[in-house]
Structure 1
Amino acid sequence: MAWITIASFNPSSLTGPYIAGGASPRSSAYPDWVLLRKTARISAFRNATTAEGRTAEGRAVEVSFWLVDPPGVSYFSVHCPGLQEDDFSGEPQVVCAEAAFVLFRVRFSFRSERRISTHHFVYTARGAAGPPSLQLLPEPPGVEAVKSHQLGLLPCGGERYAVAFLDRNWTARGDAWQWQFDAYVFSSETCSWSKKEASMGLSESDAALLRPYATSKQIAVGASALGWVDISRGITLLCNLFDECPVVKYIPFPAPGVCITPYYRLTRHSAQCFHDVACYDGLIKFVEIGFDGPDCMIKGKGWRATTWIRNISWGGWRKHTRVDVANISVDPRYSALLPELWNHETHKLELKKLVFLLPTLSVRNDDLLHIMAKVGGEHDKAWVIAVDMKSTVVEGLAPVSTGRYCPSTMFSPCAFPSYLNNMTQETSLKNHSLVVMEESWKKRKFKPRTG
């Protein structure tokens, strides 16, 4: 029987790593990995994860992480002394995260000048080497503006990393039109960008798939490749990133694309509700959710999750695991939290009584699939449920506030907390004291945001 794990996390208030819930106590201060909410809170709270940096104009930026065990949802907060929430253009947002690094975006709104200033930072969990650091990513020379979804992050050992983006153009060469890719690579060692022309490793059919390409996430694949994921079609790979002439390849998904239909002016039935991609140690994992009919995302609708795996060198995908929601075992003790799952005829708890929203694969070497689901479509609260696809059991669940609709992925799996566990004991004790002080100051000085 699976352990009952209920993560103690209220996303409407700040919490610390010592408040995390789990199946059993752990000796380390931080989880090995977390489900990090992609959008940040604006808050002046600090802890031992806090790192400070500055924009190119000299404005101070502070970032802190508030971490709980999965399936609880962690989040990060950003503070810029002297600025209020209205001075930000939207919430700061995670772009991608790999190993000890988190790449995130901050935008400021200058209403008097009618302009928006965008800044990208890389957070590094340095462990025993010292407190976490924050580095501003400079703009690449000769490029007007880099969009966040173009950036990918590749760990290079220790505290070294590279950030890259592909600038692609549909150009005429002779009598034919084809893609031309320029790879821009930033090195944390030199703190500078380099530009390389990438060679094409694309078939004619793969090149055609890139025309309507839309990036939804980025993954690091092994030690020298980055992947930009179109969650409905496939992965554009930039291989041999550090060579003079990197190679662009394309890996289509093993499942057909998903029909996208509008719902209350939101793309509710988007591919993010059916697919997810993750990579562990060079092995790419892909999951597709299939429903018992075209009208998905309604209570009581059956669904199945199928995962495939592949390496870049393989000739295709290999089917890995498959689970039907009807066969997933739910411990009866969860009825205290979700009595709506109870089936009076079978005398069992059934996951299909929830409205399925989003799948998220683990970034570890396991068969865990995290799903977000609601009791009803109108509810503001959802549940993140960890399902072991191999043993077909619910491993844990945690509540999270979402709002009425969830049109896109809300959180990102991150492994950087495991690097924080190497911090010195003195730093960890300082963190604990800060958490205690912040909880006591919360009601006196700050009003947490809701949602």
Structure 2
Amino acid sequence: MEVSFPASSFRPPAIDRASARYAPWALVDRDAYFAAHENDTTAEAVTSTGHAVRVTFCLADPAAISHFCVHGPAFDRDDFTMEPQVHSSAKGLVLLRFAFTVGPRSTHRGSRLAEYYVYKAGRGKPPSLTPIPPTPPGATNSFHTCVLPLDDDDDGEFFLAELSMTKSRSDYGLHVFSSKAGEWTVRQLRLQTPPGVRKRDLPGPNDLDKVITLGGGAVGWVDLWRGIVTCNVLDESPILTFIPIPMLEGNVDREGNSRLFRDITCCDNGFIKFVELDLRFKKVPDHHNYKTRKTTKDLDSVEIMYDSDLLLYYDYPLEHTLADDGWKLRTCYRHTSWNYWRKGHAVDIDEISADNPEHFMLLPQLWDARAGRSTLRNTYSAFPTLGVGGSDVVYLMSKLGYHAKNAWMIGVDLGEKRVDVVVPVSSERVGYFKPEFLVCEFSEYLNATPSTRAEEVTRSPNGAQDDCHLSSGNLFFALVFDFTFRVHIFVHGLGMLYSDTDAGSPKSVQPTKRLPTEIHADHMSNYS
């Protein structure tokens, strides 16, 4: 069976590294390029087809987008059903997914036969690529399998965890692979939810957007519209729990590609950070071919009024079109043990300073003649992305038009309310806001020695420290708030020390007024 790939899949963009050392983290395009590129990141493995495949990462300093290339001397392009993909990454490990049309595990006979490989960046050692045995019957080899390294394990032991969802939205199959045992285990689990939770508020079989590690053996499967299914996959008796995510106003049905507007990450020690790009629109009257009866007021602007203008009658309703009216970036955070989210930042596009001369030279279209200064209003932005470490910088893929062929990665420092970095994206995949990328830390483990704290700060796009300060304070503040919040409940006569499931939630922040649901859904279709 012949498989068709776009020409861009065979033309990887050029990569420009700023120094000899790899950056502490990278933004990696999820989809591979088919190209015979090799460097010191190249690793090789033998696939189920009996042929060798080589993987090479081409890494750029963030906020530039990195990518990886795949090739094998005995492989043809028709041997793949899709581009190999990066599924998850943790510390020095990267989980890759391959799907072949040939061999004993051809995906023509079932999606579960797609193959996993774990790439390991060995500190001071050549990288390795390890094939994973087939998943057991019932597993789907989904796009949201997590690689989980053991902390401080010199032997490189790791686990893979996949959650198979059913149509009931409450019954799951947890599939865990141990590199030490070399086999998969399967458990049937039921999601623990508070009473009264509706099925529509829980992730469905096709609703997951990403998977994140939450510290220790905890993993979170994320539906960016609804919430996170969490589980410590290393427990002897694992339990599935659910953390809801605030709903986007006007999108009750949770429609559209959520990744275009939202992202979530785990900073450290179970602290989760969430960001949303809240687009605003306004209705603009469409006056095209629309005439109205003239009145005496028109004499202020015209010299002649014809009889036909005075007798004109037009009974069709005035139509409107949608126009962008800016956006707002909002962040909030929580610990996995809390039963509330705490407000981080809320920054409007008009509050963001973009007056750095270097950025203007890269993107002179930032100049806004109406405002008399450089702003982001002339750009279309999507894919808000949180970096590593919980800094205040949110990265956006921005273009000058929905279908423009050129794009820029723009980093916005929400704490300082300014554009922090502007980097052009030299990829043919930027049409329709592609590619989709993943934040990875394995680049740091490709260096022979660990980076010092000073080096990490220097290589950070904004030169700032990436402590897990969670926007509105530091880790200490967050823990103190949680403690004082509980004490406050206790001393006000509730009679008992409330658990996380009993404690009240902080007062919510009123969102800005938006257009009706259908208007938001119509606009989201432009990105799909």
TM (norm. structure 2) is: 0.68
Q: Give the 3 Å change call, closer, same or farther, for CA 317–236 of structure 1 in structure 2.
A: same
Partners of 2:78 and 2:449 in 1: how far apart? 35
Is 1:191 the counterpart of 2:182? The answer is yes
What residue in structure 1 maps to residue 235 of structure 2? 243
What residue in structure 1 maps to residue 133 of structure 2? 138
Which one of 388, 395, 399 corresponds to residue 370 of structure 1?
395
Opposite residue 81 of structure 2, the aligned amino acid is S
What residue in structure 2 maps to residue 322 of structure 1? 346
Contact (CA 8 Å) 1:300, 1:352: kept in 2 or not?
no
- Mean alpha-carbon deviation: is it higher for 308-317 or for 342-351? 342-351
What are the within-5 Å matches in structure 2 for residues 162-181 of structure 1?
Answer: 162-169=159-166, 179-181=170-172
Q: Percent of pairs identical after alignment?
A: 33
Partners of 1:165 and 1:109 in 2: how far apart? 23
What residue in structure 1 maps to residue 444 of structure 2? 418
Q: Give the 3 Å change call, closer, same or farther, for CA 126–222 of structure 1 in structure 2.
A: same
Q: Give the 3 Å change call, closer, same or farther, for CA 300–45 of structure 1 in structure 2.
A: same
Deviation at 1:42, TM superposition (A): 0.8
Is 1:217 the counterpart of 2:210? The answer is yes
Deviation at 1:212, TM superposition (A): 3.2
What are the within-5 Å matches in structure 2 for residues 29-428 of structure 1?
Answer: 29-110=21-102, 115=108, 118-128=114-124, 130-141=125-136, 143-157=137-151, 158=153, 159-169=156-166, 179-198=170-189, 200-206=191-197, 208=199, 209-210=201-202, 212-213=204-205, 214-238=207-231, 240-256=232-248, 259=251, 269-281=256-268, 282-293=270-281, 301-330=325-354, 331-400=356-425, 401=427, 402-406=429-433, 410-422=436-448
Opposite residue 217 of structure 2, the aligned amino acid is S
Deviation at 1:167, TM superposition (A): 2.8
Deviation at 1:368, TM superposition (A): 1.3
- 1:54-101 Cα offsets, whole Å, 9 max, x none, are 223422111110001111000011112221323321211111111111
Q: Which structure features the higher share of strand residues? A: 1
Opposite residue 132 of structure 2, the aligned amino acid is L
Partners of 2:229 and 2:59 in 1: how far apart? 31
- 1:276-309 Cα offsets, whole Å, 9 max, x none, are 11112121111112122278xx886311101011
Partners of 1:139 and 1:101 in 2: how far apart? 19
TM (norm. structure 1) is: 0.79
Unmatched tracts of structure 1, length 5 or more: 1-10, 172-177, 262-266, 425-451
Q: Give the 3 Å change call, closer, same or farther, for CA 114–91 of structure 1 in structure 2.
A: closer
Partners of 1:275 and 1:338 in 2: how far apart? 25
- 1:148-204 Cα offsets, whole Å, 9 max, x none, are 224122221232221111234467xxxxxx833332211122221122343542224
What residue in structure 2 maps to residue 8 of structure 1? none
Contact (CA 8 Å) 2:332, 2:345: kept in 1 or not?
yes
Deviation at 1:122, TM superposition (A): 1.0
Opposite residue 279 of structure 2, the aligned amino acid is F
Partners of 2:438 and 2:323 in 1: how far apart? 25
- Mean alpha-carbon deviation: is it higher for 209-218 or for 60-69? 209-218
Partners of 1:237 and 1:414 in 2: how far apart? 21
Count of residue correspondences: 389
Unmatched tracts of structure 2, length 5 or more: 1-9, 284-321, 451-528
Deviation at 1:356, TM superposition (A): 1.6
Higher relative contact order (CA 8 A, sep 6+): 1
- 1:310-351 Cα offsets, whole Å, 9 max, x none, are 111112111111211111111133222222221224331111
Partners of 1:114 and 1:124 in 2: how far apart? 25
Contact (CA 8 Å) 2:139, 2:175: kept in 1 or not?
no
Q: For the aligned residues, what is the CA RMSD?
A: 2.8
Larger radius of gyration: 2
Give the SS at the match of 1:419: helix
Deviation at 1:387, TM superposition (A): 1.1
Partners of 2:443 and 2:67 in 1: how far apart? 12
Contact (CA 8 Å) 1:299, 1:353: kept in 2 or not?
no
Contact (CA 8 Å) 1:272, 1:409: kept in 2 or not?
no
